[in-house]
Each structure stands twice: as structure tokens, then as C-alpha cells.
Structure 1
Amino acid sequence: MRQVVPATPCADACCASNASSSGDRVDGAVAPGAQQRFRWLITGMDCPSCARKIEVAARRVAGVQQAQVLFSTQTLQVEAFGNVVTAVEQAIAQAGFTLTSADRPTAAPSSNLWRENALLITVALFTAISSLIAHLWPEAGNVAFTITTFTGLTPIIRRAWGILRSGQPFTIEMLMSIATLGALTIGACAEASMVLLLFMLGERLEAFAAQRARRGVTALMALKPETATRLHGDQQEVVALSALQPGDIIVISPGDRLPADGVLMTAEASFDESALTGESMPVARKTGAALMAGALSVDARVQLRVTSRPGESAIDRILQLIEEAESHRAPVERFIDSFSRFYTPAVMLLALLAAVLPPLLFAQPWHEWLYKGLTLLLIGCPCALVISVPASITSALATASRLGVLIKGGAALEQLSKIRTLAFDKTGTLTAGQPEVSTVESFTEAQTDVTLALAAAAEQGSSHPLARAIMAEAQARKLAVPVAQNHRAQAGLGVTALLGQSQLTICSPSGLKADQLNAKQWVQVRHWENAGNTVVILLQDGQPEGLIALRDRLRDNARETVAELQALGIESVMLTGDNPRTAEAIAAELKIDWRASLLPADKVSEIKRLSQQQPVAMIGDGINDSPAMKAATLGIAMGNGSDIALETADAALTHSRLNALAPLIRLARKTRRNVLQNISIALGLKGVFLVTSLLGFTGLWLAVLADSGATALVTLNALRLLRQIR
């Protein structure tokens, strides 16, 4: 019924596995004094206010140190000393919810319209029948409305009592129970029935909104198949995903999804990666291509060598980041949550005073003021207020995931809406991080292909990015590269190798003496460096043979991204450790400001200087970018960046696409406006009905609109954020 893992950081990476483990065990069981982390899936949770009830109920269990509900993935995480499984499950069941296995489902649970709405339909039908009876036979009308009310109210009373026993007296269930029973007591039976019907309709709207907001996460979960077909020699065996390990060879049939990250071993095949990248057209991949779990094999039966451990595939990492995001709540959300805890008791006290003081002190009619007091009770429910912020945040995070961006919580989303300057790292961020040969020039009468072939011979076996670029260019030109020997990398000199009796050397111009190149050759070197290239010189037996200029190309859509950001009022600046000439050339193409020759500490200083003027976001991919990302108002990591950069960042571009930045900022700004609208709706409606109820202009059935109506309005307003932002 649950999953048990050690309450340590490393446990998070394995949280999706089926295996259970603990820090200490006694005969295979959880030791009573060991600190453990338990996980369950929750059913019956419709809104963030339900999540708060579950958290409070779990925290009241003896031994529980921490409890957190992750609304988007509908999971409960509990940290406790000893085995509290049974006690937590009983406490949550008492509060009206059900805990089930923490193994992530591969498909959304099937829904039954009648089963989910049976009580609502029954109460609506009974209310209509009661209205007809009251019209034809007034004396029996109240009896019919009372039966209708108790039919729908009974499960609510049971739920209110269970939640009360878990230590939460100020809930919508309790307020509805008191108000509805009070209405029956003073003879307002028809209104009691109508209030109950409106309340139940509002709950169904909340459930619908929550389901829509979680749809993106649910679809992501469904990308993982339950099993995989693994090759064992010549035999095939069907195994659970938890049994797959790096190095295993698996088979995927056409139309099936990849169960893990891996490397393609088949010659060539097409894959539908739209669920992960948003690209609608299948992509052709060749042998050795890295593939992500969740991609769909389109046209071939393929073999894959697994590279990810159980629970660590691309989908698992995305789901884990989504879960982590919920622990970073926006400041406005924390304020509203704290405010709502005082708001409900305050309104309940006001309702009590309104019901009692006027009749006692001013001889006002008891019936009239009891009715007003009951009306105020319904206004005291904080549901609309509590859901106003998380509904918007959840919808925005779901939309961001479709843009290929993971945001670590509402706090990061709120900060993103305030950003006015975006600082870019160069290599691997604005550029692809893969240098390409831009030109080859010979200093002798030999052809440039000869120069390139000799350089490739000297670079054979090197893993340096420049070496790989030179060898790739020679291969692209289909040159016959001679075999050299005794390859050596010498600090300050470059790379040397022996080709027959001749020594080949490749080095940067800075490693040469001034007289090793003539004036014309130095002019050529400076020309290509000024154009933003990295230049290397080929020497044979100490004599210059030629130069090779290499350049790291801009990422696709880099220019369009910078232009879109400028249209949004975002200033862009490039911070790089590269030389000033290369930085200037790249910045000139993008028409942005730049700073060059920066060490990691220099980037931090520059970020701090920029932050004094306005909020700054730093986007990078390397370990050296992490300090600057941490110093910025917001850190954004490229999805293919280092693990440290991804952990430091507040947001990550999962597909490393810069063109997601402008839509992301528009989404953050729209979310901020949406949150303010929702808070205004929630407080505004309650304020209006508070005054009109005290003045006697509105009754019970209209007052319930201050809660159910406002809740429906804020959730529907939040759902607008699910639209694609472009």
C-alpha cells in the first residue's frame, strides 16, 4: 500500500522504484526508531484546500516529523520515526480520503460520470421533486426539502466529523453542516436544500478544474510503459521497469514507447518525440543516438542499450522536478494561506455575534438574526481564497512544462514575472557548444585539403572539442588522413605527433613567437580572430603550414529569442570567459551588450552589479555558471547542462531551446495578473456578500455563491493559463 525509502537526499532519485528500502531494518521490517520516508497516492482530493487537510491529519500522527502533499502528482510524502504506515492511513481515511500504492500509474484512472456525480444528480433530482411537491402541496414541501437536504448532507457531516477528529474544526464541511442544519431548524428548508445543491455543484467544478490543471502531469506519467522486453542472449524476457539497469539491451516494437533512456543500436529508425519536445513530426535517428524515455518508435523494431537507472529516466527527472516545485511556494501563496487560517475563525465569531447580540441587546427578532448568522457562516469558508493562488500556479506550471520548461515552484514563477535583465552565458547557451571549421588556409603552395588532412592526423585520438571539429571536417570532405604516431599534448605548445620523420604541431597563435609567422600570415590570423573565430596554426618541423579557423555557431532561434525579449522590455547581456574579439563578434550578431574574459567570480560580481539596477536572471549550462545563477534573482539552466547547474537553477529549459524564454516570461507575467484577479474575486465577492447579508439583502442560497461561486470563478479563471502561450 505504500513505498518506504530512507529519509536521505539520495532517496529522492529512486522514489519511483518499486523496491522498498529503509535505513535500518529488524528482520526485514522497518525498525521502530529509524527515520523513514513514506509515499502514497491520494484519491478523493479535489483542490489545494483538501491537500491542507491531508497534511494536517498526517502531521497529528504520533512519530510523524513532516508531511507534504504534492498536489500535481497527487502524492503524500511523510517523514517519520518508525513505521507509521497504519496510523497515517487510518488518519487520512478518517479525514475522508484514501491512500493507495505509491507506484506511479502508467495511465490516468478511468472515470465514470454516473459514479462520480451520483450524489449531485440525486440531490438535484430530489430538489426538483421537492419544489414540485411544495407547489402542489405546500404542507408537505418542507418535509420533502428536509429529506432532500439530509440525503446530501449526511456524507458531508460524516466527513466534517472525521476532519474535526483530526484536529481541523474550521473547514467548509463543518461550516456547511452547521449552516444547513441551522436553516432546517429555523424552517428555511427550501433554502437549505438549494445551498447544499450549489455547494455540491461547486465541489464538482473544483474537481474538474483540478483534473484539467493536472492533465499535463498525468499525460507525462502515462508515457512510461509498465514493462520492458529485455534481451538475454538469444532469448527475450518481459521485465518490470525496476529491473532494468544500465547496459541492458531492450527491444521496442513499432508503436511502443521507450521505457528508459538509452542509446540506439539499430541502424536507423524514426521516433515520435512530440510528448517530450513538442515537435509534431517524427525525427530520424541513427546508430549511437541518445534517446529519452517516452519517445515512440514509429516505423521499426529497434534495439536500445539502456543508460538510465530505475527512477532516473528523463520522465522520472521531470516528474521529480515538478514535485520539488510544489515545496517552493510563492510568497503571496504563503501569505494567503496564513491569512485564511485567521479569516475563518474571525468570520465565525462575527457570525455568532451577529446571531446573538442584536436579539439580546436590542430586542431584535431571533429568527431574522439567526438567519443572518447562518448566512455569514457560509461566507466564512476560505476555499475560494485558499485556491486562488495555487490554482493559477498549478495551471501555469503545467503550461510551462508543455513549453519545455520546468519551474521549481510558485516562488520562482513570481520572481520570473519581475525580471528585467537576462544575462546569458555564451558557450553552450547562446552557442551550440560544438565548434565547426569555418575556413582552412594554407601558408604554402599545398592545397588546403592537404593542410586539413595533416591537422587531422595530428589530432587523431584527441577528445578536445577543437580536435573533434577538425576530424569531423576532414571526414566530411572525405579526405585520406595519414596515420601519425606518438601523439602528445604539451602545455603551452599544443599537440604534437610524428608523421614518418616529420613532426606535426598544432597550437594557438599565442603559443608562437613573433618571428615564427611573417607579417602577411599574422594579418590573416588577426582577420579571422576579429571575425569571432578561434584560430589554430599547423606547423611541420617548426615551419608554418597553414591555419584553421573554427567557430562555435549560434543556437537555432538565438537571434529571434533576443529580439522577442527586447520586445518584452527585457535587456540582454552576454557574460563569457572567452576572449573579447570572439565575444564581440557573437554579441554583434545578436545586437546585445557583452562582458568577456570573465572568471566565475567575475560573473558573480557582474550579476551583483546588474542586480542593483533591476531584477536579473542568469541562464547557463556549466559548473562555472552555477555561482552566477545562484547570485542572480533567478537562475535558468539549459536542460543539457551540468548536474550542478540544473540543481542550482530555479528553472530549466528541458529541451535546451532558447525560444521558450519569451513565452515563459509572458506566462509568468500573465500568471501574476491571474493571481491578483483571483484574490480580488475571492475577497471581493465575500466582502460584498458580507455587507449585503448583514443588511438583509441576500440570503443563504446567494451567500453560498460567495464560496462555491467564487471558487468556481477563480478555478475557471486559472484554467485560462492552460492555453498555450506564444
Structure 2
Amino acid sequence: MNKSIDTSDSCCTPQPQNASQGCCCSGSLHDADHKTTDDSSSYIKDHWQPLVSFLMLVIGLILDAFIQPSWFSEPVRIGWYGLAYLPVGLPVLKQGYNQLKKGDLFTEFFLMGIATIGAFLIGEYPEGVAVMLFYSVGEAFQLRAVQKARGNIKALLDIRPKTALLKRDDAFEIVHPKDVQIGDIIQVRPGERIPLDGILLTESTSFDTSAITGESKPRQFQKDEKVLSGFINQDQLIEIEVISTYENNSITQILKMVQEAASRKSKTEQFIRSFARVYTPIVVLLATLLVLTPWFFVDNYLFEEWFYRGLVFLVISCPCALVISIPLGYFGGIGAASRNGILVKGSNYLDALKSVKTVVFDKTGTLTKGVFAVQEFQSFGHDKDQLYSYLHAAEKNSTHPIAKAITDFTKHNNGSSLKVSEQSEIPGHGIQANVDDSKILIGNKKLMDLKNIDLNGYSNGSNETLIHLAVDGKHAGLLTISDKVKEDSANAIQKIRNLGVERTFMLSGDLKSEADRIGNLLNIDQVFGELLPEDKAEKFEEIKIQYQGTTAFVGDGINDAPVLALSDIGIAMGAMGSDAAIETADVVIQTDQPSKIATAIKIAKKTRNIVWQNIGLAMGVKGIVLFMGAIGIATLWEAVFADVGVALLAVLNAVRIQRMDFD
């Protein structure tokens, strides 16, 4: 399953490549990208063989049809057309021989070799040359289309800057990004791309993030926010503290994900490859029977006539259009998704997206912004400033969004003189710590109940999250914290319903009242709140078992990784999501926009349509021309169109998905 789709020009040049799949278009998905930048002169230089064969074929046809010189006798004709055949025929025959040594007999090279040599044996010299010539020309054009499609995708992603302005001894010097270490300071001028991921040290600036996230509008970033490689600085000279190496920055990871996506095949691709391996030898057997069987039933049996029909049958039978255009269709869909800020890690996941029936959402950071703010603080019998110090000291080392909201609220009284010890986080509950000589608890009602803290009736929230503070076993304070719903969350739910998603669920660790509020606001079918990480996984499995069809989970946090792994399709919010969630997910939404889920489903459905269009086109045309060849209507010219022509049309159909608008 983890084999790369091969697309090198093995039958257009004499250098053999890996063609084990029995199709002329073979080679690594990562190869030959440099050829997309060839100019016309180098292209002619690389493909001089078809040009020589074409000129010799034209001269031979003129001599045969118009001039008919006496010296152009039968032996001379054979020699002339034989020489015309060699430039385009030898590379293909050589490939067929190499594959034969590997035990792979029924390849396209074998079929074309038998058909054209057979044409020479029955005296159809011009047709033998023409079939191999147009086959090679068609393959060259097909290869060009494939390379251009892949080159466009790679060019879209591989936008890594080649230089960085590194700070050394109070001065900045130009270095390669590979030479920059984590913790170094780099400078980025207006109009330049950020070469490495980092933390913004300048107060604020605006970035064009479209190459990474697909967002068309510039985004404003503030000091201490994370910025990604590939963003374009728009406002002013800025400084960034580097937090990733060149090999591990965002662009490199995106490029790696897209390239590795080709190794994960859809069921359709796997079926077509298996089908081609069975289909080709069957057609060879049928062609043989077509030649030999009429001898028993036809009165005026002419071997040359039926042998010609068998040759036509062989040329038509080549499955190249299917073996190449279908994987390219999926790769085009992956490229279109990347263009829209969506990373799909394999065509199998793209295939599964089209049939999603149930979508389960995490809440915080997925449907909501994950940016909490303290709306109100109440103290019970304690000095507020002292409580602020306790809160800040206990929460300052936590990365939880609520902890960030609390420390932002208490930063004016940061408790820097307080000594914190025995600090621990209780998942799904809160934090406990010793601050100076006091035992501090900060968390939800479950934590207070666990520690037998009397809340004096302050236990229920309506539209907000309530965070309790206990000091030395007594309820000392109450924080009211709220999160904001993302602007496009409601629209996202409606869009995916319009695309065929039948059920939506939301799983949250927040209070049930807060989870229900968000669920009602977004019109989600069913909401489950107050879930621990292990509860989320258990609840998700229950949903997956209860409802038939493909189930997707959308999340962003480190505690979402187990559920992402359990789902048929795991979708992670990439820009703000945790590394664990992004690594585990099958699809990564770079913009953190829930509406991009609908875009991904649209791309998946369109890709599937194009793939089936190609299957129908290839099988339909081949079926018609096979029948015509069997009854003697089709010639080798029609056979060439049924093979190379259809393959080229299928490839062009596959690559058009990259130019479509899915917003």
C-alpha cells in the first residue's frame, strides 16, 4: 500500500525507470519536478527521438504515395521504416525486456512492442512506425501534463526562503536558514517571507498568511504570538525569536505531509492497480483467440487479416489511462486542498471525506476561539490582592487556555515573591499547589467536590465557566470566565449539513451548561459536557458504534489526540492546534476555520467525480474501439487514440481540479 505512484518518462527516453506496474508512466512521485522549468530547446533535446522518426515517416509516406522512385524497393522500404522505427521503438522494447527479466510480462511496453513488430511482419511498415511514434508523442505530452500538475503543487508549497537575517553581536548578517538555531533572533523586512517559525518580538505587525493558511485577508499579530515560516511581513521591520529548525518548520512539514500523502492510496486506486494486473493478461489471451479461433469457423480465413485485428486489440487494451489518471486525480485533489489551507495526508482520507455522515466536534479551540477572558471575580472573606497573587503564582506555568486567561487577569499582581511547591494538574478538574504556606486549589466544581470544599451555593454557571479558588480548604474566590464562538462556526455546521452530513455532536470538558449554550447557539444535534479526556474517547466510540457511515472528529488539543486516532477521519485545527493533535490527524485545517471542513468535503466529492469520469471515459472508449477492432472496423490509428489519446484526455481532466474555486 505504501508505494509511490510512478510518473517518469520511461517510454519516452531510453533510460529505464521503475515500471513494475505495467504502465509506461512510471517513476517516483518526487522525481522529475525540475523538468517543469525546461525551456523549449531543452525539451526538444530531451525528446529528439520522436522528431527524427516523424521526419523519416513523412519522407517515406511521400516516397510511397507520390514519387514512387524505382530505387525505393521493398528491401529499401523495410530498411527505411526500420530506421524510422528505432528512435521511438528501442526505448519501449528495452523497457519491455527489463520488465520481462523481472518477471513482469504483461506491461504496456510488451503490448506496444508486439503490436508494432507484428505490423512490420505483415508488411504494414508505416503503420508500425506511426503507432510507436504517436504512442511516444502522446506519452511525452501526458508526462508534461503530469509534471506540470505536480510542479504547480510543489511550487505552491515549497516557498521556503533561502536566506535569513541572523543577529550576531548586535548586527544582522545574511545566512542560510539551516544555519539558524532555536533561540536565535532573526530580522524580517517588509515584503519578505518569514524563513523559520518563531515568536514575534516586535509589538505588532500584519502578515499575508495565504500561502500557509489560505486566508485572503492579512492577519494582525501581536508581540509574543507565534508566527509561521512562509508568512509575508507586510508592515514594518520586525524581529523574531526562532522556535524551530529549518528541517522542522511549518513549510517543511506541510511539504512533507503533501508528498507523503501520495503513499496512502484510496480503495479505488488499489482496485484499479489490481484490476490492471488481471485485465492485461486476459486481453492478451483474447487477442490470441481472436487471431486463431476464426480458423475453425471462417471459410476464407486470412492469417494476416486476423493477425492485424489482434494487433489492434492489443494496442487498445493498454490500461495506462486508468493507472495514471486516477492517482493523478487524487493528487490533484490533495493539491487543491493545500491551496485552500487544508492538508489531507492521503488519497484514502480524501476518498473517505466524501462520505462523512457524522461529525463530532471538540468545543474549545475548534468551534470557539479558545481565547478565554475573566469577566468577573468575587472574593469571599479574603483580600483580593492576596488572592490575585495566589492565582498568578499557581497558574503561571500552565499552558491551558483558562490558565492563560487567569494570569492575564492577575498580571498586575503576579505574586513573584511567592514560593510555589508541589504543584500538580488534575486533568478535567484543575490545579493544586502549595503557595508559600497555603494550600491552593483552582478548578471547577468537580475539583471542589473531590477535595470536600463547601461552595456555599456558588456552584452553577449559566452562560459562562465558573472557576473556584480555595485556600487552605475554604472557598475563597470565584472567577467567571467565558469563551467566544468563532465567526464561521454556525455557517460551518449549516454547510456540512448541506453537503450530506446527517448528524453533529459536540464533546467538551466544560460545564454542561456552557457546552449546552454553545451547542444551542450553533444548532448542534447533541452535546456532551463535563467530559474527562478518557470520557471523550469512550463517548466517541459509543457514537461511532451507534451510527452507521463514516465518522469524523474535529479537535485541536493534546487531549484530543486519542479521539482523533479512533475516528474514521481525524481533523485537526492546525494553526493553533497542538503538535500531538496535528500529528495524529488525517486532515489538518491550517486556518482554524471550521468552515474549511465543508471545503474539504466539496473537494473530496469533486475529486471522486473526476476519478469516475476518467474511469468511464477510459473503459467506454476502449470498449467501443475493442469491439470495432474485433470485427475489423478499427485500424491501428484508432487503437492509438483509444490508448494514448484517452490517457491524455483523462490526465487533463484530472488536473483541472486544481483550478477550481471551492469557497
Q: Please tell me the TM-score bracket, short chain as reference.
A: 0.7 to 0.9
Could you tell me which residue of structure 2 aligns to residue 597 of structure 1? 530
Contact 1:220 / 1:315 at 8 angstroms: preserved in 2?
A: no
Could you tell me which residue of structure 2 aligns to residue 649 of structure 1? 585
In structure 2, C-alpha distance between the alignment counterparts of 1:51 and 1:419, rounded to whole Å:
44
How far residue 167 of structure 1 moved from its aligned partner, in angstroms, is 4.7
Q: Can you list the C-alpha shifts for 1:527-572, whole angstroms capped at 9, x where unaligned?
A: xx1224335469999797x753111222331111111112223121
In structure 2, C-alpha distance between the alignment counterparts of 1:611 and 1:514, rounded to whole Å:
38
1:635 aligns with 2:562: no
Residue 111 (structure 1) aligned to one of 30, 38, 45: 38
Cα 1:198–1:456 change in 2 (3 A) is farther
Residue 580 (structure 1) aligned to one of 496, 512, 515: 512
What stretches of structure 1 move > 6 A for 4+ residues in a row? 39-43, 441-444, 489-499, 502-507, 512-516, 537-544
How far residue 378 of structure 1 moved from its aligned partner, in angstroms, is 0.6
Contact 2:166 / 2:185 at 8 angstroms: preserved in 1?
A: yes
- What TM-score, normalized by structure 2, do the two folds share? 0.82
SS in 2 for 1:395: helix
In structure 2, C-alpha distance between the alignment counterparts of 1:509 and 1:353, rounded to whole Å:
81
Could you tell me which residue of structure 2 aligns to residue 568 of structure 1? 499
Could you tell me which residue of structure 1 aligns to residue 117 of structure 2? 181
Residue 543 (structure 2) aligned to one of 607, 610, 628: 610
In structure 1, C-alpha distance between the alignment counterparts of 2:562 and 2:73, rounded to whole Å:
72
1:396 aligns with 2:328: no
How far residue 193 of structure 1 moved from its aligned partner, in angstroms, is 4.0
How far residue 423 of structure 1 moved from its aligned partner, in angstroms, is 0.4
Could you tell me which residue of structure 2 aligns to residue 406 of structure 1? 343
Q: Which of the pair has the greater relative contact order for Cα pairs under 8 Å at 6+ separation?
A: 2
Provide the identity percentage: 31
Cα 1:552–1:240 change in 2 (3 A) is same
How far residue 683 of structure 1 moved from its aligned partner, in angstroms, is 2.0
Q: Can you list the C-alpha shifts for 1:203-260, whole angstroms capped at 9, x where unaligned?
A: 1332233124313542145312344443332465554444332123334444443332
Q: Can you list the C-alpha shifts for 1:175-206, whole angstroms capped at 9, x where unaligned?
A: 22332232233232343344234323421332
In structure 2, C-alpha distance between the alignment counterparts of 1:51 and 1:250, rounded to whole Å:
46
In structure 1, C-alpha distance between the alignment counterparts of 2:4 and 2:624, rounded to whole Å:
41
How far residue 372 of structure 1 moved from its aligned partner, in angstroms, is 0.8
1:435 aligns with 2:372: yes
Q: Counterparts in 2 of 1:238-637, with a 5 A limit?
A: 238-359=174-295, 362=298, 364-439=301-376, 456-461=388-393, 462-463=395-396, 464=398, 465-473=401-409, 481=413, 486=418, 511=448, 517=456, 522=458, 526=460, 529-536=461-468, 547-570=478-501, 571-592=503-524, 593-612=526-545, 613-614=547-548, 615-637=550-572
Amino acid in the other structure paired with 2:313: L
How far residue 430 of structure 1 moved from its aligned partner, in angstroms, is 1.7
Contact 1:538 / 1:547 at 8 angstroms: preserved in 2?
A: no
Cα 1:609–1:539 change in 2 (3 A) is closer
Q: CA RMSD in A?
A: 4.1
Cα 1:601–1:393 change in 2 (3 A) is same
In structure 2, C-alpha distance between the alignment counterparts of 1:333 and 1:507, rounded to whole Å:
51
Contact 2:164 / 2:186 at 8 angstroms: preserved in 1?
A: yes
In structure 1, C-alpha distance between the alignment counterparts of 2:15 and 2:653, rounded to whole Å:
21
SS in 1 for 2:371: strand
In structure 2, C-alpha distance between the alignment counterparts of 1:249 and 1:409, rounded to whole Å:
36
Gaps of 5+ in 1: 1-38, 58-67, 75-97, 99-104
Contact 2:571 / 2:588 at 8 angstroms: preserved in 1?
A: yes
Cα 1:460–1:46 change in 2 (3 A) is farther
Amino acid in the other structure paired with 2:559: N
Gaps of 5+ in 2: none
1:156 aligns with 2:92: yes
Amino acid in the other structure paired with 2:136: M
Q: Can you list the C-alpha shifts for 1:328-364, whole angstroms capped at 9, x where unaligned?
A: 2112211211121122222222223323443477561
Contact 2:388 / 2:415 at 8 angstroms: preserved in 1?
A: no
How far residue 455 of structure 1 moved from its aligned partner, in angstroms, is 5.4
Residue 233 (structure 1) aligned to one of 157, 169, 177: 169
Could you tell me which residue of structure 2 aligns to residue 694 of structure 1? 630
Contact 1:618 / 1:629 at 8 angstroms: preserved in 2?
A: yes
In structure 1, C-alpha distance between the alignment counterparts of 2:470 and 2:436, rounded to whole Å:
13
SS in 1 for 2:595: helix
In structure 1, C-alpha distance between the alignment counterparts of 2:413 and 2:611, rounded to whole Å:
63
In structure 2, C-alpha distance between the alignment counterparts of 1:387 and 1:334, rounded to whole Å:
12
1:668 aligns with 2:601: no
Contact 1:532 / 1:584 at 8 angstroms: preserved in 2?
A: no
Q: Can you list the C-alpha shifts for 1:602-653, whole angstroms capped at 9, x where unaligned?
A: 3334333333422211122234323322332222222243333333322222
